[in-house]
């Protein structure tokens, strides 16, 4: 295998991040998740819905281990404030496929409060897919505020800010093979 290329430390503005999950651990876990998905969807042709930007590396590495027949598409979730009282609403951008009757696998980088995926899943549900499953690389159970069924979870982590392997701080730091955590 390739030599380890983990980034040992990263400073962005005034924030210092230190190693948290190695590239090796990430890749091993993704292989396990892919095997679970391959088994569960052996007789199906799911539509994999990748939530950009954060999930781009996770989705790419996961997809390389999927042996099932599947389609892969990419969405963005835009936040906008409709009124003071209703707070932040989410709009799904980029979903051009018809999803009615399809088996969806939504691929996310991290579930924190769960608000984002909760709203995304509600909006997808309105288009009457056959099923919706969620695959998230990271999950912060103690931060969760919404009832969400997470089918494929890479790592449960404590409620700390993480960076790398797709996840950013202020737009930077997505381009590491390992995950780092705010010191
Ligand atoms: P949620 O709606 O579940 O609270 O948060 C979803 C989004 O917040 C994630 O998709 C991600 O973009 C961002 N987020 C939550 N926690 C973290 C974190 O620890 N690090 C980074 N970089 N982004 C996070
Ligand atoms: Mg995300
Ligand atoms: Mg971000």
Average pLDDT over residues 78-83: 70
Average pLDDT over residues 80-99: 77
Is the whole-model pTM more than 0.90?
Answer: yes
Q: What is the pLDDT of residue 183?
A: 94
- Give the pocket of ligand 1 (CB within 6 Å): 54, 108-116, 161-163, 167-169
What separation in angstroms does the CA of 7 have from each of 58, 65, 118, 166? 17, 24, 32, 13
Ligand nearest to the backbone CA of 143: 1
* Cα dihedral sign, 141-30-37-128: positive
Instruction: Give the full edge-to-edge strand order of the sheet including 131-139.
Output: 88-93, 71-81, 47-52, 103-111, 131-139, 152-156
Average pLDDT over residues 100-116: 96
Q: Which domains does the chain have, with CATH numbers?
A: 44-174 (3.40.50.2020)
Positions marked catalytic: 112
Q: What is the pLDDT of residue 4?
A: 75
Whether the per-residue pLDDT at 3 is higher than 80: the answer is no
Whether the per-residue pLDDT at 81 is higher than 70: the answer is no
């Amino acid at each position: 295998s390739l030599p380890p290329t983990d980034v040992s430390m990263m400073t962005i503005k005034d924030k210092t991040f230190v190693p948290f999950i190695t590239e090796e651990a990430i890749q091993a876990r993704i292989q396990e998740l892919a095997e679970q998905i391959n088994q569960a969807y052996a007789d199906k042709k799911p539509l994999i819905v990748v939530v950009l930007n954060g999930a781009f590396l996770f989705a790419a590495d996961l997809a390389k281990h999927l042996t099932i027949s599947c389609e892969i598409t990419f969405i963005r979730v835009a936040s906008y404030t409709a009124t003071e009282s209703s707070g932040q609403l989410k709009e799904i951008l980029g979903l051009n496929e018809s999803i009615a009757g399809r088996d969806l696998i939504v691929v996310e980088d991290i579930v924190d409060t769960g608000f984002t995926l909760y709203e995304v899943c509600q909006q997808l549900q309105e288009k009457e897919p056959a099923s919706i499953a969620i695959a998230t690389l990271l999950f912060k159970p103690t931060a969760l505020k919404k009832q969400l069924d997470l089918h494929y979870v890479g790592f449960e982590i404590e409620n700390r800010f993480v960076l790398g392997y797709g996840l950013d701080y202020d737009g930077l730091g997505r381009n590491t093979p390992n995950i780092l955590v705010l010191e």
